Amino acid sequence: MKNLEKNVNTLTLKKEQLERKLSYLNEQHKHELLECRLTYENNLKGLLSNDVRIDLENTIHSLKQQVVYLQQRIAFLQQELEQYIQMYGHRPSAQPLVKTTNQE
């Protein structure tokens, strides 16, 4: 029984050691990623003129706003669809977005 307790204690200590090492490596990895990102940003600053960088940042901001708007629009349309299904018990029939003419 003492042998088993000794093994459990040994394994517990090893586990704690490995957890500390993993935590340390995670923090080291985060630090390295941050350093890499800062280096990349500094290098990028040297390559782009200030006007181009500002224009790109504005474009990114605008695209993020468009994504948010589209996500809200999707949620609204999904809600409308669910209300339609509740009222009528089925999805609306699919209709083409553009009318086609009969060319014979």
Are 14 and 38 contained in the same domain?
A: yes
Q: Domain for residue 3, yes or no?
A: no
Q: Are 70 and 62 in contact (CB under 8 A)?
A: no
Are 60 and 30 contained in the same domain?
A: no
Taking residues 28-47, what's their average pLDDT?
89
Closest by Cα among 61, 34, 35 to 53: 61
- Assign residue 80 a region (left: φ > 0; alpha: ψ between -120 and 50; beta: otherwise): alpha
Are 18 and 37 contained in the same domain?
A: yes
Q: Domain for residue 74, yes or no?
A: yes
In the structure encoding, which two tokens stand for residue 15, read together?
Answer: 């586990």
Q: Over the stretch 49-94, which tens digit does the pLDDT of each residue have?
A: 888 889 999 999 999 999 999 999 999 999 999 999 999 988 888 7
Q: What is the pLDDT of residue 103?
A: 57
Q: Dihedral of CA 67/69/58/42: which sign?
A: negative
Q: What is the pLDDT of residue 24?
A: 96
* pLDDT range class, residue 44, cuts 50, 70, 90: confident
Q: Domain for residue 71, yes or no?
A: yes
Q: Are 56 and 48 in contact (CB under 8 A)?
A: yes
Total structural domains within the chain: 2
* Owning domain of residue 73: 50-88
Q: What is the pLDDT of residue 3?
A: 87
Q: What is the pLDDT of residue 41?
A: 83
In the structure encoding, which two tokens stand for residue 58, read together?
Answer: 């504005």
Are 54 and 74 contained in the same domain?
A: yes
